[in-house]
Amino acid sequence: MEQVPDWVIAFRSLGWIAAGQVTLAAILGGIIGIEREWRGRPAGFRTNMLISIGSCLFTILSITGFPLDGSAAQDSARIAAQVVSGVGFLGAGALLQTRNKTKGMTTAATIWLVAAIGMSVGTGNYFLAVFTTVLTAAVLQLLLPVSKLVEHEGRVHKRHARDDDDN
């Protein structure tokens, strides 16, 4: 009888656990996505859910498909590194450059962060994923007035500086 490799056995037994991880990643990505959708940003509810789900799935596959022990041991961190790089392209697509301003930086950062949340769930770091989601939602929601105030003061400061240069 043919011997089944250890990684195949681990992969088969992962079924419901992995499904739960992917579901949690979807929920956490969705929480952040709801805030972005509510603000009318390009990467909203479904996009953030999909990024989190995909990152979680890639992480699970990286850990289970490329084990660190045995004769076929490989560096499972390679896939995680590629997730980080690949998500950077999604974030870059959210950026808009105008003459004096770059828009979409928060959206790009959120895309990157939601991928990290999905990866955290994929590695079994549930508390860290939930905590990061709550903290991120708080930063996006509660610090918006501070951000708007700083932006307004910056515009006033630039206007005064321009006026001083003209005189």
Could you tell me the pTM of the whole model? 0.74
Interval 23-43: pLDDT, tens? 999 999 999 999 988 888 888
Beta bridge partners of 96: 103
In angstroms, rounded to a whole number, what is the distance separating the alpha carbons of residues 135 and 131? 6
Domain ranges in the chain? Answer: 6-142
Interval 33-70: pLDDT, tens? 999 888 888 888 999 999 999 999 999 988 887 767 76
Q: For the residues of 57-78, what is the DSSP string, one character each?
A: HHHHHHHHHS-SSSTT---THH
Predicted confidence band at 128 (pLDDT cuts at 50, 70, 90)? Answer: very high
Interval 111-122: pLDDT, tens? 999 999 999 999
In angstroms, rounded to a whole number, what is the distance separating the alpha carbons of residues 138 and 3? 51
Greatest alpha-carbon span in the chain: 90
